[in-house]
Amino acid sequence: MSPRILLLGGTTEALRLARRLGPESIYSLAGLGRVPDDLPCQVRVGGFGGAEGLAAFIREQGIELLLDMTHPYAAQISANAAQAAALSGVACWALRRPGWQAGEGDDWREVDDWSGLVAALHNFRRPFFTLGREPLEHLHEIPPHQYWTVRCLTAQEAVPRAEIIGARGPFALDEERALFARLGTDVLISKNSGSQSTEPKLQVARELGLPVLLLRRPELPAVDREFLQPDALWEALERRLV
Ligand code: NAP
């Protein structure tokens, strides 16, 4: 008998795993991105109402195992998952995808938050933001000497000194090279997601000798089992399924 699993998703790895779950299990999304309609498991969309709400859902649905495969910067839902698992007495397993590591020729600088980022950007003119929607809230604060490019999931009209590109990975190396050239990028800004699908931009920055400002990873809670690779999680799951 397969355990009834609640899979908290929103990442490529989570979607891949959801394709292998049976109809007794549930794939959960916050609802910010695309909702797949071709999965063998059930799909639900939207928040639970904090850790208490998630714990209630786990109990009501008779969930036996909670899987946290959310984005490494989605700290709130990961904290809720650990707390809800403890409240409802089910195990929580998590994929904790390792971050990218700087190599030869990389000039990576870590920043703590938005204000640290703004300070670190001061001497640049053509920053390329690839860390989600946060820069969109600051378009009215663009310093006179800067022109911003913001790439996030959904496009939005350009403003006088910024271009907003709507795009979803994976991104091909050649296309990233062409984009950096067109934009005249002099600094790249990113989260350290560790995702292969968005890694080519780092290679382009390395080739061009550009600095990369990385937003520091949030602390994530300890859970019953943590996996660095999705395959290891799947193997552990298969052993449990038998
Ligand atoms: P979050 O701040 O950890 O979550 C906020 C709330 O959204 C949670 O408290 C929960 O609401 C709900 N939620 C999140 N994931 C859910 C899921 N799988 N199923 C049901 N509800 C869910 O996370 P976030 O708002 O998703 O993202 C935070 C950061 O991570 C952002 O910076 C974002 O850019 C990044 N992120 C990136 C990707 C990506 O693929 N690049 C994907 C996701 C997030 P309730 O408390 O009501 O349950």
Domains of the chain: 5-98+219-241 (3.40.50.720), 107-215 (3.40.50.720)
Atom 10, ligand 1: residue with shortest CA distance = 47
- Which of ligand 1's atoms lies nearest the C-alpha of 131? 34
Q: How far apart are CA 119 and CA 111, in angstroms?
A: 9
pTM of structure: 0.91
Q: Is 10 in the pocket of ligand 1 (CB under 6 A)?
A: yes
Contact 11, 191 (CB under 8 A): no
CB 188 within 8 A of CB 129: no
Nearest CA among 52, 53, 87, 95 for reference residue 70:
95
8 CA: nearest ligand 1 atom? 18
Q: Please, are residues 93 and 236 in contact by the beta-carbon 8 Å criterion?
A: yes
6, 13, 71: residue to mutate for ligand 1 pocket, most atoms within 8 A of CB:
71
Local confidence pLDDT in tens for the 242 residues of the chain: 678 999 999 998 999 999 999 999 999 999 988 899 999 999 999 999 999 999 999 999 999 999 999 999 999 999 999 999 999 999 999 999 999 999 998 999 999 999 999 999 999 999 999 999 999 999 999 999 999 999 998 888 889 999 999 998 899 999 999 999 999 999 999 999 999 899 999 999 999 999 999 999 999 999 999 999 999 999 999 998 75
